[in-house]
Amino acid sequence: MEERVARILGHASLQPTIFSDEDVAAQIRQEMEKKKKRAVEYGVFAYAQPVQPTQNINKGFLLNTIKGVDSHNRRQEIDACYRQRELDRKLEQDRRRNRSIERHRKRSRSRERESKRHDPTHSTSMNEREFWAARKAEKTQLIREQVAGRECTIENAPAYESSSEDDYSDSHAAKKAKAEMKSKKKSKKSKKKHKKHKSDN
């Protein structure tokens, strides 16, 4: 801004004097009064005479305007930098919050998988499903071996009943295993309660 001011003052051949709005208004009033007196004395010819101004008010007013515009632009730049910094800070906070939420979700999923792995009921149900899937695969393979190399019709189809003796024995064994597992759990719980009761006493 100093270079622009010096350049304007050099073109105007003025002393580096800064005028306020009141000074400019006072100078304009003085020039108007002088022009009014010359008009009364000389009439229309007063406007044809050269006027020697004491100071160039227009250049001073322009100087004040430039200074005000520069200060306004500087404030705008500062505000823009502040807003950009606030925006960057909020974005960084959002990124950190999202990373924290994602880490928490991963820990929760890993804990859930670990609890399922150590849960006896979950492992028992998985073993039971695997057992019945293996039994079904064995029966399917047996039927394929029986009908291999010959045409299968209704008359010569192998007997395949869902409620066979093997199924009944298998289901009975599975129920028995479940009952044993439940009884073991109950005995463990009763032992824990008994120990806790002793420690409290």
Parent domain of 142: 121-181
CB 8 within 8 A of CB 62: yes
**Is residue 196 in a domain?**
no
- Give the CA dihedral 135, 136, 137, 140, nearest 10 degrees: 120
Same domain as 141, residue 171: yes
Same domain as 132, residue 40: no
Among residues 108, 136, 166, the one where a domain terminates is 108
* Three-class DSSP category at 154: coil
SS3 content of the chain, % helix, strand, coil (to 5): 80, 0, 20
What is the model's pLDDT at position 15? 47
Same domain as 167, residue 103: no
89-100: burial string, b at 16+ Cβ within 10 Å, e else: eeeeeeeeeeee
Same domain as 168, residue 134: yes
CA dist., res. 123 & res. 121, Å (int):
5
Closest CA to 8 of 93, 49, 66, 50: 66
38-50: burial string, b at 16+ Cβ within 10 Å, e else: eeeeeeeebeeee
Tell me the one-letter amino acid at 25. A
Phi/psi of residue 18, each to 5°? -100, 125
**Is residue 164 in a domain?**
yes
Same domain as 133, residue 88: no
Same domain as 125, residue 104: no
Same domain as 127, residue 101: no
Same domain as 71, residue 11: yes
Among residues 108, 130, 156, the one where a domain terminates is 108
Whole-prediction pTM? 0.27
Same domain as 96, residue 129: no
Number of domains in the chain: 2
CB 67 within 8 A of CB 5: yes
Q: Which two tokens stand for residue 102?
A: 């994602």
pLDDT in tens, the chain (201 residues): 556 555 555 555 444 456 677 877 888 888 888 888 887 887 777 667 666 555 555 666 777 788 888 888 888 888 888 888 899 988 898 888 888 888 888 888 777 777 666 555 555 666 777 878 888 888 888 877 776 666 656 665 555 554 444 554 556 666 777 777 777 777 777 777 766 666 665
What is the model's pLDDT at position 11? 52
